[in-house]
Amino acid sequence: MKLSDTLTGEKRDFEPAGDVVKIYVCGVTPYSASHVGHAMSYIVFDVLHRYLEYRGYKVRRVQNFTDIDDKLIDRAAQQGKTVEELAGQYIDEYFEDMDALNVRKADEYPRATQEVPKIIEMVAGLIEKDFAYPSHGDVYFRVTKDEGYGKLSHRSVDQMRAGARVEAGVEKDHPMDFAVWKGAKPGEPAWDSPWGPGRPGWHIECSAMSLRYLGESIDIHGGGQDLVFPHHENEIAQSEAFTGVAPFARFWLHNGLLLKGDEKMSKSLGNLVSIREALESYSSDAIRLSVLKSHYRGPGYYSDEALAENDRALNRFRQALQAPSNAGAGSKLDAAGYKERFIGAMDDDLNTPQALATLFDMARDINRDAETGSDVGDAQALLRELGTAIFGLTFKEREVEVGDDKAAEIQALVDRRVELRAAKQFADADGVRDELTALGVTLTDSAGGTTWHVD
């Protein structure tokens, strides 16, 4: 299969270096509820993981939690909680959200606060090689010492300097030098180190965790496009400087960002939609579909219209999966071609829109052939397998709570209409249906009787 690599800018053949595909994905900073932008990113890497396994690879995926940083410290202080309590709360919520979205668990979820010894080891190693230097309780990475700095984000140190908004009053040798260790201010959580009490810089934790859990060189490093610079650029710099091994990651995969309206969804713009809010109105299938509908490297757009549209589209799959199959019929819908198309699309840098189109084509052909009494069992099984195993869909109807009393009331009306229809009093029957429609009930008449559901 082919994958795009941000570093080289190329799409090229992917094979893991060893027996296991080693993947590191940058996780969240748990200081507030995860939003649908996070959902998009983790769904993308979930599908990557699922697809690699489908293609027969063993996969080891590691995803961190940045459970110590400025925002966590500030917010914990505001709420009168410890950083640990606050982070723990949102980590729990993160797992609940991902479960609800049917995102499979990574193999490891290391936390920055539990990796401090490894981080200190790296910082010390970087100082020893003169890639880093202590300054006033902090330790900074020396950007000018790294010739390759800027290779991921395709810019030179000089270019960055031109547009950089430089922190004032910080004792750095070069404006672009970044902190690998931050000295603690009074009252902040801190760990002892050779440079005084402090905590890890943001970037170093990912380098340390990737190194500890996956080794010096990994196959795929993933994250949102907004992490390319500075976070991933800095990870490369630290990791390769510390280990002397390159490449730190063989493929850099970055998902596009989720926009709302025409702007990025972000805290500062106040347009965040949390995952739990979205799940109040839409199914996880609909949310996953909105991610799969467009290519992972392009931007996503969040809108209520699109989510509602997805629920309608998903009905096509549910109908096709329920279509009657005439096992042993003379004519049989051959599933092999669809599978080949699906794999061909996914092998091409995870072209989920095209793979999804294959599934829709399959649904249409299943429905058409089922009407003529063909055996569509193989195709239905394939549709279900690809949809659930790789795309992580459930194909379940969104459950709407209907109380027992209301259900009895509805059923009584439905029964009355059935009687009226049997008596061919269609005008009255239609009147009853109007009443039911007003209650949000949709009826379906078929040879087997009348069924109803509430949207």
Partner RNA sequence: GGCGACGUGGCCAAGUGGUUAAGGCGGAGGUCUGCAAAAUCUCUAUCAGCGGUUCGAUUCCGCUCGUCGCCUCCA
> Per CB under 7 A, which of residues 195..224 are in contact with RNA?
202, 223-224
Q: Does 4 bind RNA (CB under 7 A)?
A: no
Q: Does 421 bind RNA (CB under 7 A)?
A: yes
Query: If we measure between CA atoms, which residue out of 331, 270, 262, 338 comes closest to residue 301?
Result: 262
Q: What stretch of H or E contains 95?
A: helix 83-100
Q: What is the DSSP string of 152-207?
A: TTT--HHHHHHH--PPTT---SSTT-EEEEEEPPTTS--B--TT-SEEE-HHHHHH
Instruction: Count residues binding RNA (CB under 7 A).
Output: 84
Question: Closest approach of Cβ 46 to RNA, in Å?
Answer: 13
Site string for RNA, 300-339 (x = CB under 7 A): xx---xx--xx-xx-xx--xx-------------------
Q: Does 119 bind RNA (CB under 7 A)?
A: no
Residue 400 or 405 having the CB closest to RNA? 400
Burial class (CB in 10 A: 0-12, 13-18, 19+), 100: middle
Q: Does 255 bind RNA (CB under 7 A)?
A: yes
Q: Does 348 bind RNA (CB under 7 A)?
A: yes
Q: Which of 82, 135, 367, 388 binds RNA (CB under 7 A)?
A: 367
Q: Which residue has the tokens 């893991």?
A: 16
From CA 56, how far away is CA 252, in angstroms rounded?
A: 21
Site string for RNA, 138-177 (x = CB under 7 A): ---------------xxx---xx-xxxx------------
CA 126, chain centre distance (Å): 33
Work out the number of other CB atoms within 10 angstroms of the CB of residue 431: 13
Q: Does 444 bind RNA (CB under 7 A)?
A: yes
Q: Does 391 bind RNA (CB under 7 A)?
A: no
Q: Does 364 bind RNA (CB under 7 A)?
A: yes
Residue 252, beta-bridge partner list: 221
Torsion of CA 191, 131, 179, 157, to 10 degrees: -170
Question: Closest approach of Cβ 226 to RNA, in Å?
Answer: 4
Q: Which of 129, 267, 396, 406 binds RNA (CB under 7 A)?
A: 267
Residue 147 or 405 having the CB closest to RNA? 147
> Per CB under 7 A, which of residues 31..90 are in contact with RNA?
37-38, 40-41, 66, 69, 71
